[in-house]
Amino acid sequence: MNIQHHISLKPYNTFGLDVKSLMFSEVNSLKELKDTLTLNQLEQFMFLGGGSNVLFTKDFDGLVIKNNIKGKEIIEETDEYVKLKIYSGENWHKLVMYCVERNWGGIENLSLIPGTVGAAPMQNIGAYGVELEKVFIELEAFNLNTFEIEVFKKTQCEFGYRESVFKRKLKNQYFIFSVTLLLQKQPVISAEYGDIQTILAEKGIQKENASIKNISDAVITIRQSKLPDPKVLGNSGSFFKNPQITVEHFEKLKLTHPHIKGFEQENGIKVPAAWLIEQSGWKGKRIGNTGSHEKQALVLVNYGGATGNEVWDLAQEIIKSVKTQFDIELEAEVNVI
């Protein structure tokens, strides 16, 4: 275990923001985590996985703990399914590729989502019609007060749209140590999204004959065509959540914006944040060193040299514009530090 001082976090966040941490440590095991937390005398500390869902607006006056706890274990396997336990420091996309190679279905639609496995249940990651909770069994979480490992079943995680209990009432109380997923050996293909169907059609693949590799390849193609590579252009992927509004609100908006898009949910209509931002005139707009990406309005980018405050100021202006034009309040998906 090695605690460093005054370390730049630029290599550890996908926005590429050059902020510093007072102290920094990487942990490779539960023992190292316990030792680090025991020796740490600072009140303020935070965990970093892939750094893909965080916006630093200032230096961090505490201890940053980088999670490198890795490994995979088959808990149970039958002719129909695999129960796979994955430790939280594993890279999410590499896990998806690992499962696709073995034809274990369930997470192929979540290909190329940045970050680590530990962050996946934290915000119930989702894409192209699939959310983590669909394949989730349980997780192990390290209680930061008692130093004990606790097991959380699906209902205890209180999953919602990009939400879980760990982002709300249990925020900053647990470190997610491992996640166990149920993956199918005779997978059911999820190709409802039009973009996926278009890619499959272009390759001459019928939906009913598509493999999970076909779906994964299609999702990767779509994401690469729309989303900038953080190694080239700093970003955190989707900056805002897709807002949900009432049916009445949606019908009212249709009168003035007949081309508005909406998807029925249990409690209303989900409206694509990217569409709202584009209609408000922000898509491709650059202010100083930051802006909304030219191909995907939902992605705020660092063109080089931007500060976290610049990005956050831009986000606030976008929120204000959308609120004025549509009476819809956008909510940031990233964690703002």
Contacts of 72 (CB under 8 A, 6+ apart): 84, 85, 86, 87, 90, 95, 98
**How far apart, in whole angstroms, are the C-alpha atoms of residue 153 and residue 105?**
21
DSSP letter at 148 equals -
Residues facing residue 48 across a β-bridge = 66
Active site residue 102: no
DSSP states along 37-101:
HHH---S-EEEESSS-SEE-SS-EEEEEEEE----EEEEEE-SSEEEEEEETTSBHHHHHHHHHH
Options 162, 190, 280, 292, the catalytic residue: 162
How far lies 46's CA from each of 66, 116, 172, 275, in Å?
9, 15, 8, 33
Other C-beta atoms within 10 Å of 42: how many?
Answer: 10
Options 52, 238, 280, 292, the catalytic residue: 238
**How far apart, in whole angstroms, are the C-alpha atoms of residue 210 and residue 21?**
47
Options 133, 163, 278, 333, the catalytic residue: 333
**How far apart, in whole angstroms, are the C-alpha atoms of residue 119 and residue 66?**
13
Active site residue 333: yes
Active site residue 225: no
What are the residue numbers of the active site? 162, 238, 333
